[in-house]
Structure 1
Amino acid sequence: MSERLRVVSISYKNAPLEIRERLALNESETKAFYLKLKDVLGLTEALVLSTCNRTEVYYKSEEKVSTEIIKLLAAQKGILSSEIITYFEYVDDEQSAISYLFEVSLGLHSQVVGDQQIINQVKLAYQWSADMDMAGPFIHRVLHAVFFANKRLVQETSFRDGAASTSYVTVDLMESFLPMLSNPKILVLGLGEIGEDVAKTLFEKNITNVTVCNRTKEKSLEIAEKFAFEVLEFESLISEIGHFDVVVSSVRAEKPIIKKSFFNNNKSVKYLFDLSVPRSIEPDIDNVAGLVLYGLDEIQKRTDNAIEKRLEAIPEVKSIINEMVVDVENWSKELLVSPTIHKLKNALETIRQEEMSRYLKSMSVEEADKMDKITSAMMQKIIKLPVLQLKAACKRGEADTLIDVLNDLFDLEKVKLKN
């Protein structure tokens, strides 16, 4: 049985956040896990992808060792495997596994379809795999095909057009007016899932002069340290909010906590984003001169439009993926016959060298050089057709028969591969 690419996966589709976050791996944990895959399971090629939405292991192996991989992961994270094993999914057919890797990397399986961050996360996962000598010929080939497919996706489709998440739409809108402001101060109020995502997006887009504020100060300090932002005490919100040019609020409250009265003496243009449900900013606050309010409905409408365009582009994306998967499969099949091709070349070269050696003593240097060139050219022509036939047989799935014939004709089992 030959090695094939397999996948073991846990994701937002089948596991709650509290399970996924317990299994998330940072860089040092990922690299330690690679050592376990190598030393305990004997794997030589693997890619470990761990994000907030998924932890997946793509591995090459003759035998399915997905259960063993889950047990290793559980042991590393100090969890009983019985607590998590039911949340995992498996892909053991190589073609399906390759297609799945493409689809995940290009954002087809992201919570926000077409997510632009996943391809960068895959690149980082690939780098860590290479760092640990776990990116062999197959992983290298597949990942480079994935990155090329991503370029095609951007150039040939509208799959990445527009912002398709609340945080990205918010920051995109923000970027449209930030250049008009002089050193604008930004406040992110409320650090739940949406607020934290806004903070992360601001950081990723290199937008600075950001302050975070949350009822729980520990959360503010955690996010501020993570992204090098400032912290505003929640108790100081009323007195300090007027100093900010942009306020993004996703704080949970039964009634609005940001009121018109906070801006009675407003003398500049300020932009407010209310991403809360229920609303945390008084809806008529933009009646105050200089205040511009963007509500969640407007943000969501822009998000829905972007997602609709991305969904329409999915058939084009899948067409690109199908083409690239076929290329990878053909390469993979040719890789199987590569040893036979090399052995055949070595066998013919041995015959050529042996026959030449019988006549070299009676030849001048000039004659020997000429004979070497002639016989070498003959060998190249002789071997060309078998090689082409082998590669064609690979695509038809009939290579085994031709390999057996060549082995019998040239006794290739006794031929050693030369570097």
Structure 2
Amino acid sequence: MQHKFRAISLSYKNAPVEIREIIALDNKAIQSLLIKLKEFFNVKDTLILSTCNRTEVYYAHELDLSVEIIKLIGSEKCVHDIVSYLEFFNIINDDKKAIQHLFKVSMGLEAQVVGDMQISNQVKRAYQAAADEEMAGPFLHRLMHTIFFTNKRVVQETAFRDGAASVSYAAVELIEELTSNTRNPRILLMGLGEIGEDVAKNMVYLPEAEVTLTNRTFEKAQNMGAELGYKVIPFEDVYEAIESADVIVSSISAKEPFITKELAKKLDIKSYKLFVDLSVPRSIETTIEDVPGVLLYNVDNIQSKATATLEKRLASVPQVENIIEQSIEEFYDWKKEMMVSPTINKLKNALEQIRKEELERYLKNASEKEYAIIDKITKSMMQKVIKVPVVQLRAACKKDQAEEMIDIISDLFDLEKVNIKH
């Protein structure tokens, strides 16, 4: 009997960022949690996904372990009153709904920015972590590879992943486009609020760029710089950094423009200098474009590009959902086959045991040639005998009657007794 696949989800849909930050798991905590789930509950197929938008645990078990798992998360995070956060978790104990949820999360349908390109890599890393701890059995291996294949179909057959649908990613895409002829472009990111932080994370898609971070709270810049491998400077050194940068991305909060036309005039611009203003209200004076060599893009330019892409993606959602349904159906056909495989193997073993016992009983004095002929005949007979119940079991899978047929065949051939005997 296969265990049910289940899911525990805490996401931006039902938990604010203050709660998500408390529950979020780093790689070390994920590894520790996987080990505890294996040791405490003998859970085999487990996937733990933790991003800025969600922390989710997928697992296969006969029992609902959601409260126990949430308590383990609390233990990892030193959150002693974790039970008081239960309302923020979505518990999915229905097998098919849990599988559907994982597919939708992996494709980006559940992302804050629909079609988020980062999620597929995050899911792959979660799967690798499970495999490293030997927490991925045949079920999870097959499920994940079905998801990866589905993701390829979505990319190839739909417009769901085309273009940039978030302001931060659209900004990075714009920078990539405008610096394509610049070797190792020097990028200065000012301000690490919500958008600035997201831009910093998306800068990983510009591996040739030399990224420098600065923030009024220096500690935040240091932490992010250490996490992403970027250079960090104190905010008081920002003017010197503007002078040397090719690209300046401003995401700071300021009542008056921080970068003015007068400042831009003082800069030694040899070819060009790109300014990207993601602040609301704007932190870069619009008139700086009058200065030769200055290019300015603001949040409205970038937002319109992102909005057009998002509309395109949303139009593709029914197509993506249809591909997912096809994949889940194929996966369930395999899952049903897996359900009857142990019974088929038990039946084969039971008949093979009878065949061998009878050969030993009646062919003690047979010649090698006689033994070979009778061995071949009895093997052929056994294969013909087993063919009908195997066909019936597989047909029962298609009709969702596998459990009933397994019980009938197990009783008919006394398979449980044979299994215990072995």
Report the TM-score range of the alignment, normalised by the length of the smaller protein. over 0.9
Are positions 1:278 and 2:281 aligned together?
yes
**Partner Cα distance (2:92, 2:322) in 1:** 21
Are positions 1:308 and 2:311 aligned together?
yes
1:33 matched residue in structure 2: 33
Structure 1 position 129, deviation (Å):
1.4
Structure 1 position 227, deviation (Å):
2.2
What's the Cα RMSD here? 2.1
Secondary structure, counterpart of 1:284 in structure 2: helix
Alignment CA distance shift 1:369-1:20 (3 Å)? same
Q: Deviations over 1:340-376 (max 9, x none)?
A: 1111111221232233334544544334334333432
**Partner Cα distance (2:91, 2:41) in 1:** 17
One-letter amino acid of the structure 2 residue matched with residue 352 of structure 1: R
**Partner Cα distance (1:39, 1:408) in 2:** 34
Alignment CA distance shift 1:402-1:236 (3 Å)? closer
**Partner Cα distance (2:408, 2:67) in 1:** 39
Structure 1 position 102, deviation (Å):
0.6
**Partner Cα distance (2:68, 2:184) in 1:** 54
Alignment CA distance shift 1:346-1:240 (3 Å)? closer
1:48 matched residue in structure 2: 48
One-letter amino acid of the structure 2 residue matched with residue 336 of structure 1: M
Q: Contact 1:246–1:270 (CA<8 Å) still a contact in 2? A: yes
Structure 1 position 7, deviation (Å):
1.1
One-letter amino acid of the structure 1 residue matched with residue 169 of structure 2: Y
The ranges of structure 1 where at least 4 consecutive aligned residues each deviate by more than 6 angstroms after the TM superposition are: none
Q: Contact 2:176–2:206 (CA<8 Å) still a contact in 1? A: no
**TM-score in terms of structure 1 length:** 0.94
Q: Deviations over 1:154-175 (max 9, x none)?
A: 1221111111111211111111
2:211 matched residue in structure 1: 210
**Percentage of identical aligned residues:** 50
Answer with 353-362 or 20-29: which moved more.
353-362
Q: Show the 5 A alignment for 1:15-414.
A: 15-79=15-79, 80-264=81-265, 265-414=268-417
**Partner Cα distance (1:291, 1:55) in 2:** 42
Q: Contact 2:184–2:209 (CA<8 Å) still a contact in 1? A: no
Secondary structure, counterpart of 2:227 in structure 1: helix
1:7 matched residue in structure 2: 7
**Partner Cα distance (2:45, 2:185) in 1:** 48
**Partner Cα distance (2:218, 2:414) in 1:** 75
Secondary structure, counterpart of 1:294 in structure 2: strand
One-letter amino acid of the structure 2 residue matched with residue 328 of structure 1: F
**Partner Cα distance (1:405, 1:386) in 2:** 10
**Partner Cα distance (1:108, 1:56) in 2:** 15
**Partner Cα distance (2:349, 2:388) in 1:** 16
**Partner Cα distance (1:183, 1:345) in 2:** 64
**Partner Cα distance (1:246, 1:405) in 2:** 72
Structure 1 position 293, deviation (Å):
0.9
One-letter amino acid of the structure 2 residue matched with residue 60 of structure 1: A
Q: Contact 1:342–1:417 (CA<8 Å) still a contact in 2? A: no
**TM-score in terms of structure 2 length:** 0.93
Answer with 393-402 or 26-35: which moved more.
393-402
Q: Contact 1:241–1:262 (CA<8 Å) still a contact in 2? A: no
Q: Contact 2:48–2:126 (CA<8 Å) still a contact in 1? A: yes
Alignment CA distance shift 1:226-1:407 (3 Å)? closer
One-letter amino acid of the structure 2 residue matched with residue 415 of structure 1: V
Alignment CA distance shift 1:116-1:391 (3 Å)? same
Structure 1 position 238, deviation (Å):
2.9
Structure 1 position 406, deviation (Å):
2.0
